[in-house]
Amino acid sequence: MEAANNKKEIIVLRIYSILILIYSVFDIITGILPKFFAITIKPDTAFVNYFFTLTGIALYTTPINIIVGYGLLRRRFWARYGAIAVMLTFPIIILTQFLWWGAYSLNNYPIVVQCLFVILTLLYFSRGPVKALFGQASSFRFMSWHGLLVIMIILISFSWIIFSLYWKVHAAWKCGHPFFIDSPQLTTLEKSKNSEILGKYRKVELISISLLVPKEFSLTGLKREGTKMNKWVASLRDIGPDKKGYIGLHGNAYTFDFDELKDLRKKIGPCTKFDFEKFILTNNWNPIVSTLRAIATPSEKGSVKEIHINDLKGFLIEWQKKDYLNVEFSLYDRDDKQTMRVSINIKKGYFDKDDTLAILSSVEFLRPEEPSLAQNHYEKGLALFHQGNVQQARVEFANAYYLSPENPTYIFMFAKSLPVKETKNYKHIKDLLDIVLRIKPNHKEAQKLLKEVESKLPKGAKSN
């Protein structure tokens, strides 16, 4: 009976050790070699990696895989202690994951399965028959090569926490970054009812966003950007001689791009766009996150506030630079479907904190319109244009362009309605006309307007 039990234990031990060695080879081929050699053919390894992660074998690092896997296969007594040491570092790994990636990263069932794997492994190596397989004559001593292996395993499990501490000290000492980031101050806003303040503004509905802007500000540009051309940037400026400031509306855009940072988002786990931004703004331990935060919110920008406006929520940063007040805020709707980012740069004295809050509290997400409604905006804009209300007509043409970005008629009329007092305005008009002629090369009016615009551009700007 004992021999039969030992035979079963040997089979289980061999399968376990072989899987560990296979994972070491898998990790070398897919994770280590590509960093040193140009490997053009890389198979989809997601399923294989998921298997090792789910079973908990991925808790071993590559050097430990090789050492412990070989020792278990040859039934060396120290290998049993090595396997136990790896399993006992599981709480440290979970703590590291929590510190680096936040609580959302723990909301997945593989961690539960890994925990079960750890418990079963510890129970397995604690059984009498398994101890007998590794021999009872030898005794384990920390002051030995075998003890060094266990110490090395423990130190490796703490390595990312040690690295985080080093990074925090370095960033605080060399770059002046705060050692700990305070949670954003929560601010709840309501729509302004001050008639004196509201008298300075007019309502603008643009790219599915409604907000108040200073009456002296006009729409001076609208363009698509992003790798998928799915983000829109609208520019509103004071076109008078004083140049009082600028407002930029970034539709469907985020301070920390939710799509371009998808690998980072996967590490964090399932979360909303709002929660993703809050995580980056508040995480204290992840060097990758702190670097992103330092780039997006340098120290001169001051503290971050969390803002709630009815069903909307987001983040606000205010700072002053020279003679200008600068404000950046992001907003997310309740369903996490619509997002926007706004940049404001206004001369001090013309604009103050109450004005900032008036604009911010006026923001609303409009119900997304169907592309078929682009014609309605175009016709309304055309009527306003002929009436001489070019400023409002421009907004309607912009909405038509936004809803139907490949319609040359809409783009042309928007370009034609733009103010032409500065070189950068001519450059934007030229870019729009280039789009029109790309879509419709024989557009006579666009060709004529383009020649007029190019004649007023500096030589270097014509070919850009």
Kindly report the CATH number assigned to the domain that includes residue 333: 3.40.1000
Give the model's pLDDT for residue 258. Answer: 61
Q: Is 34 contained in some domain? A: yes
37 part of a folded domain = yes
250 and 390: one domain? no
Show which of 351, 368, 385 is a domain's final residue. 368
**Do residues 351 and 379 both lie within one domain?**
no
Is 334 in the same domain as 321?
Answer: yes
Share of the chain above pLDDT 90, in %: 26
Within-domain flag for 239: yes
What's the rounded Cα separation, in Å, for the pair 170 and 168?
Answer: 5
Tell whether 280 and 309 lie within a shared domain.
yes
Whether 349 and 376 map to the same domain: the answer is no
Say yes or no: 321 and 419 in one domain: no
Residues 312 and 379 in one domain: no
Quick: pLDDT tens for 191-231: 777 666 677 888 899 988 899 888 888 899 999 886 666 78
* CATH number, domain with residue 433: 1.25.40.10
Q: Do 15 and 71 have their domain in common?
A: yes
- The mean pLDDT of 66-94, rounded to a whole number, is 91
Rounded to two decimals, the pTM is 0.79
Instruction: Assess whether 21 and 138 both reside in one domain.
Output: yes
User: Are 126 and 213 members of one domain?
Assistant: no
The boundaries of the domain holding residue 103 are: 2-157
What is the 3-state composition of the chain as percent helix, strand, coil, each rounded to the nearest 5? 55, 15, 25
> Which pLDDT score, from 0 to 100, does residue 422 have?
64
Q: Are residues 211 and 328 in the same domain?
A: yes
* pLDDT grade for 288, boundaries at 50, 70 and 90: confident
- What gap in Å lies between CA 130 and CA 125, rounded to an integer? 6
Buried-exposed string 265-293: b where 16+ CB fall within 10 A, e elsewhere: bebbbebebbbbbbbbbbbebbbebbebb
Domain count across the chain: 3
Cβ neighbours for 362, distance < 8 A, ≥ 6 positions apart: 191, 192, 201, 203, 210, 211, 212
Q: At 456, is the pLDDT very low, low, confident or very high (cuts 50, 70, 90)?
A: confident
